[in-house]
Structure 1
Amino acid sequence: MFTLYETLRGKHLNGQPLAEYPGKDERLASIHDHLVRLLNARQGVLSHLPDYGLPDLNLFYQDLPYSEADMAVSVKSIIEKYEPRLRQVQVSPLPRDIQFAVVRMEISGWVVGGDRVRFKTYFKSTGEAEVLQAIG
């Protein structure tokens, strides 16, 4: 199952065309693409979905390292609400990269009707979230 955005565009975020019948790889690519959009969106930007996306990351960065757990809870709750293809979502902070001001987290869960997946995610001080491809 593809997201509405992918269906309208006819391709994945990386530009690859959608398969007519999505398989496991296409499903994981679609979940990845949606996580990239979801974690890079900020709450309040969409008037019809005011809680879509993360709160302002600057608030979390100001209170580091104490706010990592709060950030993980926010990421988990937003994924549980807006990515229904993932179940039993867990978000675990990884050691920070102090030199480059990057907060690292691992997002894991079960794809509905599929396998367990993990996404390494980097939250940069610029506010950008980089989600790496799924690890099965």
Structure 2
Amino acid sequence: MEAPAKGALGASLFERINTAPAGGSVTTESSQFYKTVESIKHHLVRLLNSHPGNCESRPTLGLMDFNDATVGTLDLELTIQRAIKSCIERFEPRVDNVDVRVMPRDEPLSLRFQIRANVRVPDDMGRATIDLVLNDKRYRCLE
């Protein structure tokens, strides 16, 4: 079996196609790390806003709908926290040791989470923190 290309774990296929350097220029490790983290953020937004059953090739991809009114607020936060962690561990291969924490709310109708994970880049690994907010029924990563 052939080894993956040098940038194989750094960015998604479409990101590598769209930004492929013409002259084969080399990026620094720190630059590659930040590009990988940005790619992971974009992937997490798409992943966490998907729902199981919407992808024929991976029926379990995404998060279930948490609009169950019988679940209390604290239980809801813990349920979503566990679901986010499980989803990332299953469908984002560029990270390890995922830790998801519930954060204090900025707005009454939003939920905030902080994701900490080891990010794998070619020949290296670093720790990244990603802040995530759920409002208007959509997940998005904060800068």
User: Secondary structure of the residue that 1:104 maps to in structure 2?
Assistant: strand
Counterpart of 1:130?
A: 140
Give the deviation of 1:19 after TM superposition: 5.3
Counterpart of 1:116?
A: 127
Deviations 1:75-129 (A, max 9, x none): 0011001111111000001123453x001100111112321111110011x2100
TM-score by length of 2: 0.76
TM-score by length of 1: 0.79
Tell me, in whole angstroms, the C-alpha distance in 2 between the residues paired with 1:33 and 1:60.
30
Structure 1 runs of 4+ off > 4 angstroms? none
Letter of the 1:121 partner, please give it: L
Distance 1:60 1:97, change over 3 A: farther
Corresponding pairs, count: 123
Structure 2 residue 115 is matched with structure 1 residue 104: no
- Which of these residues, 83, 90, 97, is aligned with residue 74 of structure 1? 83
5+ long unaligned stretches in structure 2: 1-9
Give the deviation of 1:62 after TM superposition: 5.0
Contact residue 19 and residue 26 of structure 1 kept, 8 A = no
- Which of these residues, 23, 30, 35, is aligned with residue 26 of structure 1? 35
Relative contact order, CA 8 A, sep 6+: which one is greater?
A: 2
User: Secondary structure of the residue that 2:115 maps to in structure 1?
Assistant: strand
User: Secondary structure of the residue that 1:105 maps to in structure 2?
Assistant: strand
- Taking only the aligned residue pairs, the percentage that are identical comes to 29
* Greater shift in the superposed pair: 89-98 or 105-114: 89-98
Counterpart of 1:58?
A: 67
5+ long unaligned stretches in structure 1: 11-17
Contact residue 104 and residue 121 of structure 1 kept, 8 A = yes
Counterpart of 2:3?
A: none
Letter of the 2:125 partner, please give it: G
* Structural RMSD (CA): 2.1
